[in-house]
Structure 1
């Protein structure tokens, strides 16, 4: 299914599991992946996604190179740890002080040319993406963006991918719950509200290179405001 078709389908209706719904904290854990779930037209409120095994298999193999339990755990651990990279904070500090960005990067990053170049590329990506998402009204100011970064994108993907891996028997139910909780706890360190989460997800996707940013913003607004959305009655994570 093309991205534009997924956007249309996501707008048409939220998919809710009426036979195995989750409530309370378990629902909050699942909702960390609600943006990704909406993109895939999956259930928003249950461990199971409502997608066919073929759809899940294609998603995991084609986009994530996940073929086994070992692959699943490696990818999930990577996503959950990405926002704990202390050098990323140096890059954002440099972006906020452009006149001194070289000095900030050199003093804050390891004395290794390959590592320096790696984070310099990230800095340049920020320069391309941040003006766009700021113009789209995703963030009130740069300090708000600097605080939450792309946490919603990383933890949100981990949450939904964990559900998919569970349905492929790559994770036990207990392991699924552990990854969901880890994603939720990680997200809370950066985002205080569900609106911050959706903005962070859209920003992270744009930083990664995703297109159709306007469509993603529309999905976010629908999740936050549609009366049938599990996020409608929630403000704080």
Structure 2
């Protein structure tokens, strides 16, 4: 995709493949990549992204350090594993009981200093992110975050990266389908609706990427309300 085409497409919300269109469960599996796909002006409804090879190479190599099948699998597995970090539950518990947060964190988190500081910094990020998301009307209370966590952010990025890796030849079509199906099924353990998926993605972006998430909020709104969006008439995962 040329630079002009990418700039042009960035003003076109919802980009669909009209040739190789998915439906049913395969479409649902692909749609967990929709937030990241919209960021990249990619197709929402196919395994193919619609991006030029140079754009895919730049994304994988410069941002994810993926140069081979082995590195692709490592990154994709890591994005799945992040959703099983039980120490994050402790951080969320501490945030929910801020009067006792020191005791909760010190009593339950790893004592090794670097590891402890890693989770302490997440706690501190929550103190900035949660009020901001409430003010932006992404959520109404922290309880919504405790349920969905940053699962959409992890599974969503993994799903889109898997599509890119497929186009680079790092994954076979079967490996791509298996990864997307597994991602979808695991995401359902955290998110019941597509709106919750978008909330989770925005939350993850805010925690790990910082503030200035108005663009992500707009993407979520477009996905959920635009008449062209495959998510428009879907409520539950």
Which digits, 9 at most, give the CA deviation of each residue in 1:168-214, with x for residues without a partner?
A: 00011111111111211121111100001111111111111245311
Aligned to 1:171: 171
Aligned to 1:181: 181
Aligned to 2:19: 19
Going from structure 1 to structure 2, the CA distance change for 1:100 and 1:8 (only over 3 Å counts) comes to farther
Q: For residues 203 and 19 of structure 2, what CA distance do their matches in structure 1 show?
A: 34
Going from structure 1 to structure 2, the CA distance change for 1:219 and 1:85 (only over 3 Å counts) comes to same
Question: How far did 1:117 drift?
Answer: 1.4
Q: Mind listing any 5+ residue stretches in structure 2 that lack a counterpart? A: none
Question: How far did 1:10 drift?
Answer: 4.2
Aligned to 1:102: 102
Aligned to 1:231: 231
Aligned residues: 234
Question: How far did 1:114 drift?
Answer: 2.4
Check whether the contact 2:21–2:45 (CA below 8 A) recurs between aligned residues: yes
* TM-score (ref. length: structure 1): 0.94
Going from structure 1 to structure 2, the CA distance change for 1:184 and 1:86 (only over 3 Å counts) comes to same
* TM-score (ref. length: structure 2): 0.94
Check whether the contact 1:69–1:171 (CA below 8 A) recurs between aligned residues: yes
> How does 1:1-40 map onto structure 2 within 5 Å?
9-40=9-40
Going from structure 1 to structure 2, the CA distance change for 1:7 and 1:31 (only over 3 Å counts) comes to farther
